[in-house]
Amino acid sequence: MIEGFDHVQVAAPRGCEAEARRFFGGLLGLVEVEKPQALLARGGVWFQAGNQQLHVGVEEPFAPARKAHPALRVRPGALDELAARLQAAGASVYWDEALDEDRRFYSEDPWGNRIELLASRQSLARRGAGTTVRRCQEADVPAVLGLWEQARSDHASTPDRLDDVKRLVAGSPAALLVAERNGEIVGALIAAWDGWRGNMYRLAVRDGHRRKGVGLALVRAGEDYLRQCDVRRVTALVAFADQVAEGFWETAGYPLDREIGRRVRNL
């Protein structure tokens, strides 16, 4: 009996191979797999997509599929990055927020076929002790800036700018997480990923909500996000001589690294 899907095929016109490799391989990051020798003359390109395959096959005459489409599941930390990459390459991106469980957008391949890319929302949210930790939305940015101003460390030297935070929320692979209680933003943390290692910084909790588990909930949600990006080592940026912060991060499981320090330069 049926065990599942082996592959899905999208149609393309003859001579599609270079564009298929540019779009599915270069932009979406799928790995090309070798076609059987007996099928090479038919044209097209095959790609690995998780445990299944996506086949680009030649169809004559060709007509793009405007409704029927493959849906590619994306690691949560990569969905916004993929959307930005496609837009930068001139591809269309249409977000659809109709699903509670997933974030998703639609795009088109080089021949006008509809493509869906989606990622889970639930992995970015944590609940507990009356606090919800979730990914920051653009509407939350003023509240986050107000929180950072109220809880700004004496060691902070870089100004917080509205456009920078909006860009972080809209198109960065880093996750700006917020903790919410009764509709109020009471905490924030940036969990950043550079493709290799993870970093956490700009942890802040509003006065009156400290020592209630908000900071730790943010850190654990940040770990959830970075773990799904395949991160195996995380660095927390903590000011020297800040005994409160040092005690918190020690308790959270981040001991001081006595071997490697940090060097910085403003650009």
pLDDT digits (tens, 9 = 90+) for 177-223: 999 988 899 999 999 988 788 999 999 999 888 888 899 889 988 98
Position 71 in a domain: yes
d(CA 105, CA 71): 10
* Residue 76 pLDDT exceeds 70: no
| The pLDDT of residue 154 | 67
Query: Are residues 136 and 113 part of one domain?
Result: no
Q: How many domains does the chain have?
A: 2
| The pLDDT of residue 124 | 54
Non-local CB neighbours of 84 within 8 Å, separated by 6+ positions? 171
Position 23 in a domain: yes
- Whether this prediction's pTM lies above 0.75 is answered by no
Higher pLDDT, 72 or 155: 72
| The pLDDT of residue 238 | 87
Mean pLDDT for the chain?
87
Q: Are 180 and 148 in contact (CB under 8 A)?
A: no
Answer whether the bond into residue 70 is a cis peptide, omega within 30°: no
Burial of 56: CB neighbours in 10 Å, binned 0-12, 13-18, 19+:
buried
| The pLDDT of residue 125 | 55
170, two tokens: 């809209």
| The pLDDT of residue 200 | 94
Query: Are residues 220 and 146 part of one domain?
Result: yes
Read off the amino acid at residue 162.
Answer: L
Q: What SS3 class is residue 108?
A: strand
pLDDT digits (tens, 9 = 90+) for 126-155: 555 578 888 888 889 999 999 988 877 766
Q: Are 235 and 203 in contact (CB under 8 A)?
A: no
| The pLDDT of residue 77 | 66
**Residue 237: which domain range?**
124-251
d(CA 160, CA 144): 10
| The pLDDT of residue 155 | 67
Q: Are 179 and 214 in contact (CB under 8 A)?
A: yes
pLDDT band at 228; cut points 50, 70, 90? confident
Non-local CB neighbours of 202 within 8 Å, separated by 6+ positions? 148, 188, 189, 190
pLDDT digits (tens, 9 = 90+) for 37-59: 999 999 999 999 878 899 999 99
* Residue 74 pLDDT exceeds 90: no
Query: Beta strands 114-120 and 71-73: pairing type?
Result: parallel
Query: Are residues 215 and 160 part of one domain?
Result: yes
pLDDT digits (tens, 9 = 90+) for 96-117: 888 877 889 999 999 999 999 9
Query: Are residues 111 and 133 part of one domain?
Result: no
Position 263 in a domain: no
Query: Are residues 214 and 189 part of one domain?
Result: yes
CA distances from 25 to 32, 44, 58, 85, 150 (A): 7, 13, 17, 13, 46
Position 258 in a domain: no
